[in-house]
Chain A
Amino acid sequence: MIVDRRNAVVGWLLLAVLMVVTLLPFASMFTSALFPSGSYPIGISWPADPHWGNFIAAFKAADMGVMLESSVLIVLGVVPISVLIATLAGFAIGHLRVRGGQIAFVLFLVGLTLPLEGVIVPLYYEVRSFGLLGSRWAIILPLIGLFMPFAVYWMRAHFVTAPSELSEAARVDGASTWQLFWRIHVPLARPALTSLAILLSVWTWNQFLLAIVLVDNPTNRTMAGALGAFQGQWGTDIPLLNAGSLLILAPTLLLFLAFQRHFVTALLQGSLKG
Chain B
Amino acid sequence: MNRNYAPAPVAGAQQQATAPRAHRARGASHRYWGFVAPALVAYGAFVLWPIVQTVRYSFTNWDGVTRATWAGTSNYRTVFTNGQLLGVIGHSFQLIAYFSVIPIVLGLAVATVMRRVVSSRMSSVARVVLFLPQVVPLVAAGIAWNWMLSTTGAVDQILQKVGLGSLAHSWLGDFSTALPAVGVIGAWVLLGLCIVLLLAGMTKIDVSLYEAAQLDGAGPVREFWSVTLPGIRQELGVCVTVTVIAALSAFDIVYISTQGGPGTSTMVPGLEIYQLAFYNRQMGLASALAVVLMLLVLVCILPIQWYVRRGSDR
A11 to B108, CA, bound (A): 11
Q: Provide the residues of chain B in CB contact with A23, threshold 8 Å.
A: 129, 132
B85 at the interface (CB under 8 A from A): no
Interface with A: B30-38, B74-82, B173-181, which one?
Answer: B30-38
Stretch of B4-12, B45-53, B221-229 lying at the A interface: B45-53
- Which chain A residues border B30 with CB–CB below 8 Å? 98-100
Q: How far is the CA of A112 from the CA of B112 in the complex (A)?
A: 31
Q: List the B side residues contacting A233 at CB < 8 Å.
A: none
| B residues 129-145 in Cβ contact with A at 8 Å | 129-141, 143-145
Contact of A21 among B44, B114, B188 (CB under 8 A): B188
Interface contacts (Cβ under 8 Å), in number, total 322
Are the CB atoms of B251 and A208 closer together than 8 Å?
A: yes
CB <8 Å contact, B47 and A271: no
Report chain B residues within 8 Å CB of A25: 141, 144-145, 147-148, 154, 188
- The verdict on A91 contacting B143 (CB below 8 Å), with A115-B270, A126-B50 known, is no
CB-based contact A264/B128 at 8 Å: yes
Q: In the assembled complex, which residues on chain A have CB atoms less than 8 Å from the CB atom of B301?
A: 113
User: C-beta contact mask, A253-274 vs B, less than 8 Å → 1, else 0?
Assistant: 1001100110110011001101
Chain A contacts of B242 at CB under 8 A?
271, 274
B212 at the interface (CB under 8 A from A): no
| B267 interfacial contact with A, CB 8 Å | no
Q: Does B290 contact A (CB under 8 A)?
A: yes
The yes or no answer to A135 lying at the interface (CB within 8 A) is: no
| Whole-angstrom CA separation of A109 from B17 in the bound complex | 26
Q: Cβ of B162 < 8 Å from any Cβ of A? A: no
Known: A43-B158, A98-B35. A22 touches B129 (CB 8 A): yes
Q: What residues of B have a CB within 8 angstroms of the CB of A256 in the complex? A: 128, 131-132, 135
**Once bound together, how far apart are the Cα atoms of A55 and B84, in whole Å?**
42
Cβ < 8 Å to B, chain A residues 130-145: 141-142, 144-145
**A: interface residue count bin:** 35 or more
Q: How far does the alpha carbon of A44 sit from the alpha carbon of B157 in the complex, in Å?
A: 8
| Contact flags B134-172 to A (C-beta < 8 A → 1, else 0) | 111111110111011000111111100000000000000
**Given A18-B195, A208-B138, A257-B128, are A121 and B286 neighbors across the interface (CB < 8 Å)?**
yes
B19 is an interface residue with CB less than 8 A from chain A: yes
Give the docked Cα–Cα distance between A273 and B252 (Å).
24
Q: List chain A residues, Cβ under 8 A from B48.
A: 107, 110-111
Instruction: Select from chain A the residue with minimum beta-carbon distance to B128.
Output: A260
Q: What separation, in Å, do the CA atoms of A88 and B109 have in the docked complex?
A: 42
The answer to the question of A183 belonging to the interface, with a C-beta cut-off of 8 Å to chain B, is no
Please tell me if B113 contacts chain A, counting CB pairs below 8 Å. Answer: yes
Within 8 A of B (CB), among A218-272: 223-224, 227-228, 231, 238, 241-242, 245, 248-249, 252-253, 256-257, 260-261, 263-264, 267-268, 271-272
A197, B109: Cα distance in complex, Å:
33
Interface SS of B by simple majority: helix
Min C-beta distance of B314 to chain A, whole Å: 9
Contact call A115/B293, Cβ cutoff below 8 A: yes
Listed stretches A2-10, A46-54, A60-68, A187-195; interface member: A2-10
Contact A7 B113 (CB under 8 A): yes
B131 and A228 within 8 A (CB) = no
Report, as a range, how many residues of chain B touch the other chain. Answer: 35 or more
Pair B36/A227 contact, Cβ less than 8 Å: no
A87 to chain B, nearest CB (A): 9
Contact across chains for B148 and A18 when beta carbons are under 8 A apart: no
Distance in Å: Cβ of A33 to nearest Cβ of chain B: 10
Report chain B residues within 8 Å CB of A174: none
A2 to chain B: closest CB distance in Å? 12
B23 lies within 8 A of chain A by Cβ: yes
Residues of A within 8 A of B117 (CB): 4, 7-8, 11
Query: Are B53 and A117 in touch, CB under 8 angstroms?
Result: no
Distance A24 CA – B269 CA, assembled complex (angstroms): 29
Q: How far is the CA of A124 from the CA of B286 in the complex (A)?
A: 13
Q: Most chain-A Cβ atoms within 10 A of its Cβ — which of B20, B42, B44, B110?
A: B42
Highest count of chain A CB atoms <10 Å: which of B39, B137, B154, B241 = B39
Whether a CB of chain A sits under 8 angstroms from the CB of B105 is: no
Chain A neighbourhood of B269, CB < 8 A: 117
8 Å CB contacts to A: which residues of B40-65? 40, 42-51, 53-54, 57, 64
Q: A18-B110, A224-B138 are in contact. Are A29 and B251 (CB under 8 A)?
A: no
Is B23 a contact of A164 with CB atoms below 8 Å?
yes
With a CB–CB cut-off of 8 A, which chain B residues contact A101? 28, 32, 36
Q: Which residues of B contact A (CB under 8 A)?
A: 1, 18-21, 23-25, 28-33, 35-36, 38-40, 42-51, 53-54, 57, 64, 106, 109-110, 113-114, 116-118, 124, 126-141, 143-145, 147-148, 152-158, 188, 191-193, 195-197, 200, 234-235, 238, 241-242, 245, 248-249, 251-252, 255-256, 269-270, 273-274, 277-278, 283, 286-287, 290-291, 293-294, 297-298, 301
Known: A228-B255, A272-B238. 10 other contacts (CB 8 A): A32-B147, A88-B35, A107-B40, A107-B48, A115-B248, A117-B270, A117-B274, A164-B20, A208-B255, A260-B128
